[in-house]
Structure 1
Amino acid sequence: MLKKIPSILSPILVKILMEMGHGDELVISDANFPAERIGQRVVRADGHTVPELLKAILELFPLDKYSEYQYALMEVVKGDDVEPVIWNEYSEIIQQEHPDAQVKYMERFDFYKQSEGAFAVLITGETALYGNIIIKKGVI
């Protein structure tokens, strides 16, 4: 056991966060995301939500302040009558640690393409629609 590491973060996930370098990206995905097809490294966190994992990860993980954006969200597909209220929760969590963080909205297939190059994909049990987020690692 180690002190100050949120217990929701598995040893495998902590190892991946440690291995990531400046500018590397982590996808924290909802339960519907095609993680196994897209991800180079896939870590499962079934039974946990994106907000609780995002909050725990940001206790250890600096965001890249030198990038044009620090996190990315998948745009709502044209014709979907959905307002992803979970985005407000993500923004509140991120703003607590990184008040100047900028978001980038990506078209669905652009988000998938960006995810292919991510260091890892963390798949969760999140059921909120458009619950996927990409965070970009910074320096300490």
Structure 2
Amino acid sequence: MKKSTLINSELSYLVATLGHTDEITICDAGLPIPEEVQRIDLALTHGVPSFLETVKVILSESQIEGVIIAEEFATVSPEHHEALINQLNAESEASGKSIAVTYVSHEAFKARTKQSRAVVRTGECTPYANVIFQAGVVF
């Protein structure tokens, strides 16, 4: 059995096969997921697993160099937005690598998910609790 934090086999495989600049989306329970993109559905019930828990686990297993967030997230759900930014800052500090943050409209965000290798659906019910991670390199 795997010893590290991430034990979900689909997520573990996804992270292990990411290349530089590949994108994955972590989303709330309501984000529409394009049919052509792999769906990894973790949602069990409202709030389980949470968006922030899922982000934390993915960050523990992968190197991220950039994120894309909907502008609406900061204004509509400021506490969750701030918690995400704090997690990203902590990861940047721990890894010694900066993480670029880009904001786009929610409509542009939804369109961008089509470029993701996979969309990871959580049970989160906080509006606009979505992020696209852009893979970095560990060297």
Please indicate, yes or no, whether the TM-score normalized by the shorter chain is above 0.5. yes
> Is 1:93 aligned with 2:91?
no
SS state of the match for residue 43, structure 1?
Answer: strand
Q: Which residue in 2 is equivalent to 1:74?
A: 70
TM-score normalised over the length of structure 2: 0.85
Listed as ranges, the gaps of 5+ residues in structure 1 are 65-69
Instruction: Return the alpha-carbon distance in structure 1 between the equivalents of residues 14 and 20 of structure 2.
Output: 13
Give the CA deviation at 1:116: 0.4
Listed as ranges, the gaps of 5+ residues in structure 2 are none
Among 112, 120, 124, which residue is 1:126 paired with? Answer: 124
SS state of the match for residue 130, structure 1?
Answer: coil
Q: Which residue in 2 is equivalent to 1:3?
A: 3
Greater share of residues in helix: 2
- 8 Å Cα contact 2:24/2:117 also seen in 1: yes
Code of the aligned partner of 1:48 = P
> Is 1:20 aligned with 2:18?
yes
For this pair of structures, how many residues does the alignment match? Answer: 129
Give the CA deviation at 1:101: 2.0
How has the CA–CA distance of structure 1 residues 106 and 32 changed in structure 2, closer, same or farther, with 3 Å as cutoff? same
Percent identity for Structure 1 against Structure 2: 25
Give the CA deviation at 1:38: 5.1
Among 94, 114, 117, which residue is 1:116 paired with? Answer: 114
TM-score normalised over the length of structure 1: 0.84
Deviations 1:16-71 (A, max 9, x none): 11111110011000011012x3551110111201110111111110012xxxxx11
Instruction: Return the alpha-carbon distance in structure 2 between the equivalents of residues 126 and 38 of structure 1.
Output: 21
How has the CA–CA distance of structure 1 residues 115 and 30 changed in structure 2, closer, same or farther, with 3 Å as cutoff? same
Give the CA deviation at 1:83: 4.1
RMSD value over aligned CA atoms? 1.8
Instruction: Return the alpha-carbon distance in structure 1 between the equivalents of residues 35 and 127 of structure 2.
Output: 19
Instruction: Return the alpha-carbon distance in structure 1 between the equivalents of residues 111 and 90 of structure 2.
Output: 29
